[in-house]
Chains A and B, each alone.
Chain A
Amino acid sequence: MESKFEDLEISWRVDATDQQMAQLSAMTSRALRRARLIEGVELTVSAALMIFIIFGIWRKGTIAASLFGGLIVFTLLWSGWSRYRSRRVEWMADGASREAFLGTAVDRMRARAQRTMWSLVLMVPASLLAMFFSATLGNKPGLATRIATGSIGNVLLVGGLASMAATLAYLWLRLKDQQRQLHGLTAIFDNYRRESADDEGSHRRE
């Protein structure tokens, strides 16, 4: 079996052709350019936001504004840092087992699917609640009042409802996609756990 396997190794490890290497190199350059551009834009937007907030605090000059601005700046910095870290360490290439990696991936995907589910469930009541508060608490007639009294154009009404329906459809599709991914990750996780159980079983038999 050993010699047969050595043959397979030789078949498998045929060097890539120059053309394939050139394709991979070109593709890598494109992907890196795009990734660097996205990171650059994110950095620029964050920096611009922070400068804007600091300028606002300086103009206002009150303690409340300083505290509120400081909180926003802190949130921006924390969010940027955690994104930076998660992009670099999410692959757990530091010797963590596949089960640990897959367990984390399954938990993350489950949390994402739950967030989408909540968005889907809460979107319509939250929109209706917003309309209600807008109508009852505002100085001017709110959206609901204007719809009720017919002072708003039908086109605007249809547009609003259409955008709400589109958002619901998008959230529904995203939820289905996340559930499918969750199902796939769970199946692979179970597969790895079975392998570990087989390892344990073999150890015991020995």
Chain B
Amino acid sequence: MAQNVSFEEVLSLYAGLISRIALSHEADSGHREDLKQEIVLAVWRALPSFRGDSSLKTFVASIAQKRAITHISRQARHPATSQVSLELPTLGPLPDEQAIAADKRRRLLVAVRSLSVAQRDTATLMLEGFSFQEIADTLGITVNAAMLRCQRAKVAMIERMKEPDGKQI
């Protein structure tokens, strides 16, 4: 089933998803911009082959994560730094609440980046609110395997969050 989805539509729907997947894989802001650009180009090139076998969301997430994998293998000579700025978009509450929320986001990001690539991919999809079926479609595994991976990733991430300053691995 051929799908008529415009690239602009895809971008407006999934810009946040793409940005956050790039954020989970690349700590350096300059390299992250390159990665986002590579993901966007990969989606643009792959879009004509989208047949609607899976949802558009899993299609975009799958390409974004695969592009991120090849990016980090290329960037092996520039390892991710342990510095984590407040790169997730900020909300607009009171300063105290904002500081707490920002600290929580910082620790979350450090925890996600400290996971192995396979667990990081699973954790990112869970945090994005993907269902087990969608995670299975994105990773190309069975729903049962997706449930097991989610369980392991969740435990690993919460363990890392407990660590005092979220060591990077």
Contacts and interface: CB of A to CB of B under 8 A. Distances in A.
Interface stretch (A62-70, A115-123, A135-143, A177-185): A177-185
Contact of A35 (B41, B46, B105, B108): B41
A32 interface: yes
Contact of B53 (A87, A95, A184): A95
Interface residues of B, number: 64
A183 to B, nearest CB: 7
B139 A16 contact: no
Given A105-B70, A199-B149, A89 B11 contact: no
Interface size class, chain A:
35 or more
B19 A24 contact: yes
A98 B40 contact: no
Interface string B139-161: 11100110011001010011001
B80 interface: no
Contacts of B63: 91, 93
Given A16-B89, A17-B89, A21-B15, A31 B40 contact: yes
Scoring A27, A89, A98, A202 by chain B CB atoms within 10 A of each residue's CB, the highest score goes to A98
Interface in B114-141: 116-119, 121, 126-129, 137, 139-141
A42 interface: no
Given A16-B15, A20-B89, A91 B148 contact: no
24 contacts: A11-B108, A13-B128, A31-B37, A35-B41, A88-B45, A88-B46, A92-B62, A93-B59, A93-B62, A93-B63, A95-B53, A95-B54, A97-B139, A97-B141, A98-B118, A101-B69, A185-B69, A188-B117, A191-B117, A195-B118, A195-B119, A195-B149, A199-B141, A199-B145
B113 interface: no
Given A7-B104, A20-B89, 6 more contacts: A12-B127, A88-B45, A93-B63, A180-B76, A185-B73, A199-B145
A192 interface: yes
A165 interface: no
B140 A14 contact: no
B160 to A, nearest CB: 11
Contacts of A21: 15
Contacts of B77: 180
A155 interface: no
Interface of A is mostly: helix
B74 A184 contact: yes
Scoring B18, B44, B54 by chain A CB atoms within 10 A of each residue's CB, the highest score goes to B44
Nearest to A100: B140
A16 B22 CA distance: 13
B101 interface: yes
B145 A27 contact: no
B33 interface: yes
B118 to A, nearest CB: 4
Interface string A91-109: 1111111101110010000
B117 to A, nearest CB: 5
A192 B118 contact: yes
Contacts of B119: 195
3 smallest A-B Cβ distances: which pairs?
A184-B73, A97-B140, A12-B127
Contacts of B117: 188, 191-192
Contacts of A196: 141, 145
B167 interface: no
Scoring B70, B88, B121 by chain A CB atoms within 10 A of each residue's CB, the highest score goes to B70
